Structure 1
C-alpha cells in the first residue's frame, strides 16, 4: 500500500530551538523522503485517528510564521499548520483569534510557501509510538499520516517506518504528484480520468501553478481542477470530462477578469482557454481578423495598431476576448463604432456534446444570433472573426472633478453625454461622498486627431464640478488599452465575492438623479459608473442580436460590500431602469434573467438552448435552463410559440 508519512513538530514544547529547530527537523524529514511536516502549537494538536485540532501558539511563535520559516529551509516537503481555531463571530476578548485575521494569515502563508502549503487539516495524526501496521490503518483513506516528533531520533524512526513510502506517481501522461499533493484533491472529481491530451497541463490544488489559476481578477476561488486546452479538440476533450462531472460546478475562463462570470468556483472544474490567444489578419482588404478567446484586449489593440485599425472593447485592456465578445462590449469607442459584437462576423465554438461548429450570418445563423449577447449558455468559443475599423490618433482624457451636489452633477452629465456627438464617449465613475463632496472621474475618448475638436467635445463636461486634475492628449488606441497591467505567471489573486448590480437607464431624469444621489449618500456603494450608449450602438436593430437593449441612454453599474443590502437599495431604482447588462451583475435571483432578456428574446434563447445544450451543461453563468417554465414560456416544449405570439403583438 502507498503510504504518505510526515512529522508533527511543536516548536514551543522543547523540540529543538523554536523555529530553527523545527526547520532542522523538517530538513531531516525531507532528506529521509517523508512527505509532510506539520507545525503545531504546544498542546492539543490532535489524537490518533483524528484530524489535527486547533491549538494555541506558544513562546510567541504563531504556526504560520514557523511554517513559512520551515518552508524557507526546505525544497520539496509539504508544509502544513495547526493554527488556533477562529470563532465564527468577532471575538470579545484579546486572546481569541479574529476570523478575518486568521483567513489573511492562511492566505499569506499560502502565497509565501506556494503549492507545498497544505491548507486545512488534510492529514491524520498518529500516536508518537505508532508502528507501521497502525500507520497503514490510519492512512487507509489516502490521507497523509503525521507522527509527533521531538528530536532527530524521532524523525529517524519515522523515516525507517516509511520504508519505500513517500513520493508517488500517477497513471497516464500527467505529471508525477506526491501523496501530499494528491491528498489535496477535491471530492467528486475523477482525477485519473483526465484526458491524456490535457493531463500534462492540468492543474490540481497541490500543484505549483495552482495559486495562479485558482482565483480570478475579483473573485476568490478554490476549484478542484483547472483544464487548459490549446486546441478545439482539447476543448472537446475537456467538455467530455465535464459531462462526466455534472455534479460539480463548471466554469469557463478566458482571461479571468469578469465581474459576474463564474470563471472560478469551489471544488469544481474550470475550463481555461487562456492559451488560445492568437491574433491574426485573415483579409487585410476587408480588415478581417481572427482572434482567440484567451487573448486580452490589450494584446488585440497592439496587434491591430500597425494596420491603423482598432476594435472597441470595454474600458480595460486586461479583459479577455471570450467573455466580452459573447456578452456585448460597451466600450470607449461605443458611440462612434457600436458594441464589440456588432463587428463579429463569425465565431467557432465547441458545443456541449463536443461538436465543433461555425456560426455566422450564413452558417447556423440562429446560433450566431444567440452567441452575440448570451454566448456563455451555448458553447465554448475557440475563435472569433471580426471586421475591425480604421482608427488613427484619438483624444484620450482622464478628468477628476469635485462636486458638492452630486445630484446636480449626475443630471448635468446626463444632459451633456446624451447631447455629445457620436465621436465622443465619456464614462463617469464616482462613489461615496466624503464630507459633503463627491469625487467624479471621467474617462473619455474623442475619435478625432484634431486637438481643437477634442477640447470642444470635452469642455461641456467641466460643468459637473470643480476640475482638480486633468490628463488630456492625443494617442493611439493601443496605448489606452496598454495601460492595463499584465497578468504575470502568478495569475490573479482575487478574494471573496464581488457584489455588483447593473441596469440600463433610458434617461437621467431629475427623479433618477435624486434617487441615485440618495444611493450614493447611503455610503453602501463604493463604485458607481455611468456608461453612455446611443450613437452607433442604437443603429443596430434590437432583434439583430440576443443583446436587445439598443435604445437606453446609459448602462449603469454599482458595486457594494453586501449583496442583500445592495439588492434592497438597487431594487428601489427599478422604476427608472430597464433591463441589465450581464457582465456586471452578481444578483442571481431568477428575475434577473428576465431583466437581461426581453420576453420574446428569452423565449427564443430557451428554444435554442434545448437544441444546442439540452442537458444544460453550461449552467453556471446566468443559466438559461432549457426546460424551466416561467411567465413568458408556459410550455417548455415549444418556446417558439411564445416567440410567435410576441411577434404578432
Structure 2
C-alpha cells in the first residue's frame, strides 16, 4: 500500500514529514542506511506515538522505529513505509537526587543525557559516543565507558514507559508488568515502543582518561595481556581497544576510563596496561565525564557510514582467539576489530534477571566492514574469532536473522523472549522479518 495523506488523524497534524518536505533528507536515513520511507512521524508525546502506530497499521505501511541515534543495523528506516522518529522526545529529568533516579525520554541522545545530569554530579554509563540514541541502546544492552563500574545500561533501568502494538501506554516496573520490564531490558525492540526510561544513575563527575598505542605481536599475546590486566583491575576501570594494521604491524589503540577522581586509584588501575606490550605512545588526564560523550558528537544521520557489523562475546581471549583477532584485523581482507571490556558489575546480575543473559564473558568483540566489502567479506574475516565466542550483542548485529537471534538470546532466553513478543505484539507489527 501507499501512504494516503487524506486519512491522517488530527493528533498528527504538523508531525508528518513526506518526501516533498525540505526536512526529509535529514530524517529519512540512519547512520548506516539510506532510507526511502513514504512518511516520517515526529511525535512529541506517547499519545502521538500511538497515533502514528495506528496510522501505519490502518494503512498497511511497513513500520520502523528509531530513537534518533546511530542505529547500526539500519532497522530505523525502510522503503515506502512509515518511520516513527522519537528524536523530539528528549527530556531528561532528575526525579530524586537521593536515590539517583532519573527519567530519560527515548529520543534523547547520550550527549544530552550526560550534559543534563552533570550539574547534579550524576552519570549513566551508556554508549561510547554522544550521538547514540537512548531508546535503542537502553532496550538492547548498553556497554559504555563505565561499564565495569556501573554495569550495562539495562542493569540500571528500573521502569520503562512503553507504547504497545495496540496503542496502549503502559508502565513496566518490578510491581506492574514485570514480564514486560524483563523483556524490555535486553530485547525490547520486539515487544513495544519505549518512550521513556527510569534509570538509577551513579555519582560521577570526573574520570581518569588514558589512551595508549601498543604494538601487537602476531600471536596476539598483547591482547591477552590487555584482557588479563583489565580483569585484575579495580572495577572503576573500563577499557576498549581498536585493533588495526599499519602495514605489517598490528597496533592496538587502547582507551582506559577510570570512574573516579582519585588520582592514586587512577594510577593503580591504568599502570598495568603499560606492561601489555611495546607502547608506541600514551597520554592520560582527568576530564569531566560528559567529555567522553560530548555534545559535539550529535549530527544528522544521512546514511553517511554504510557498514556491516557482527559481534561475539568471549569468555576469555585464549591463544587461538588471540591469533584469530590479529588475523581478522590484518589479513588480506581485514575487518575493523574493536574490543570492549566486560566483567566487574556486568557479572553481578543473574543470567535470567533480564533479557540480556551474558553474565560470564570478559570481552565483547565487534567486527565491521565497509563498502565495497560485503557480508561475505565480514563472514570470512570474523568467523575465526566468532568460533571462540559464546553469545552476541544485538546492538552490533547488522543482520537480524535467526542466527543472530540465537546467539544474542541463546537457549531458554530465546524462548522467554519470544513469548512476551507474541503476547504484546501478536501480529509482529514491531518486528518485521524477525523471529
Matched, 1:511 2:320: yes
CA distance in 1, matches of 2:224, 2:45: 49
Match of 1:610 in 2: 422
Shift of 1:485: 1.9
Which structure dedicates a bigger proportion of its chain to strand?
2
Match of 1:448 among 260, 271, 280: 260
Matched, 1:226 2:40: yes
Question: Would the aligned equivalents of 2:36 and 2:80 in 1 still touch at CA under 8 Å?
Answer: yes
Correspondences of 1:225-624 after superposition (within 5 Å): 225-246=39-60, 248-405=61-218, 407-431=220-244, 433-482=245-294, 484-487=296-299, 491-495=300-304, 497-560=306-369, 561-620=373-432, 623-624=434-435
Please state whether the residue corresponding to 1:576 is helix, strand or coil: coil
- CA gap of 1:496–1:422, structure 2 versus 1, over 3 A, is closer
Shift of 1:346: 0.7
Please state whether the residue corresponding to 2:210 is helix, strand or coil: strand
Shift of 1:406: 6.4
Match of 1:125 in 2: none
Shift of 1:213: 0.5
Match of 1:131 in 2: none
Please state whether the residue corresponding to 1:421 is helix, strand or coil: coil
- CA gap of 1:330–1:430, structure 2 versus 1, over 3 A, is same
- Structure 2: 5+ residue stretches without partners: none
- Structure 1: 5+ residue stretches without partners: 1-186, 625-649
Question: Would the aligned equivalents of 1:260 and 1:582 in 2 still touch at CA under 8 Å?
Answer: no
CA distance in 2, matches of 1:437, 1:242: 52
CA distance in 1, matches of 2:387, 2:428: 33
Please state whether the residue corresponding to 1:468 is helix, strand or coil: strand
Match of 2:11 in 1: 197
CA distance in 2, matches of 1:271, 1:330: 25
Please state whether the residue corresponding to 2:16 is helix, strand or coil: coil
- Structure with larger RCO (C-alpha < 8 A, sep 6+): 2
Question: Would the aligned equivalents of 1:404 and 1:436 in 2 still touch at CA under 8 Å?
Answer: no
Shift of 1:236: 0.6
Match of 1:129 in 2: none
Shift of 1:605: 1.6
CA distance in 2, matches of 1:589, 1:348: 27
Question: Would the aligned equivalents of 1:221 and 1:495 in 2 still touch at CA under 8 Å?
Answer: no
Shift of 1:495: 4.1
Please state whether the residue corresponding to 1:244 is helix, strand or coil: helix
- CA gap of 1:328–1:381, structure 2 versus 1, over 3 A, is same
Shift of 1:601: 1.2
CA distance in 2, matches of 1:567, 1:429: 19
CA distance in 2, matches of 1:384, 1:442: 32
- CA gap of 1:437–1:407, structure 2 versus 1, over 3 A, is same
Number of matched pairs: 432
Correspondences of 1:103-182 after superposition (within 5 Å): none
Please state whether the residue corresponding to 1:519 is helix, strand or coil: helix
CA distance in 2, matches of 1:259, 1:580: 15
Question: Would the aligned equivalents of 1:259 and 1:584 in 2 still touch at CA under 8 Å?
Answer: yes
Question: Would the aligned equivalents of 1:220 and 1:496 in 2 still touch at CA under 8 Å?
Answer: no
CA distance in 2, matches of 1:355, 1:497: 35
- CA gap of 1:240–1:514, structure 2 versus 1, over 3 A, is same
Match of 2:24 in 1: 210
Question: Would the aligned equivalents of 2:33 and 2:74 in 1 still touch at CA under 8 Å?
Answer: no
Shift of 1:266: 2.0
CA distance in 2, matches of 1:471, 1:194: 56
Q: Which moved more, 1:287-296 or 1:198-207?
A: 198-207
Deviation per residue, 1:91-150 (Å, 9 max, x gap): xxxxxxxxxxxxxxxxxxxxxxxxxxxxxxxxxxxxxxxxxxxxxxxxxxxxxxxxxxxx
Shift of 1:617: 0.4
Question: Would the aligned equivalents of 1:525 and 1:559 in 2 still touch at CA under 8 Å?
Answer: no
Shift of 1:461: 1.5
TM-score normalised by the chain length of structure 2: 0.95
4+ long deviations beyond 6 Å: none
TM-score normalised by the chain length of structure 1: 0.64
Shift of 1:383: 1.2
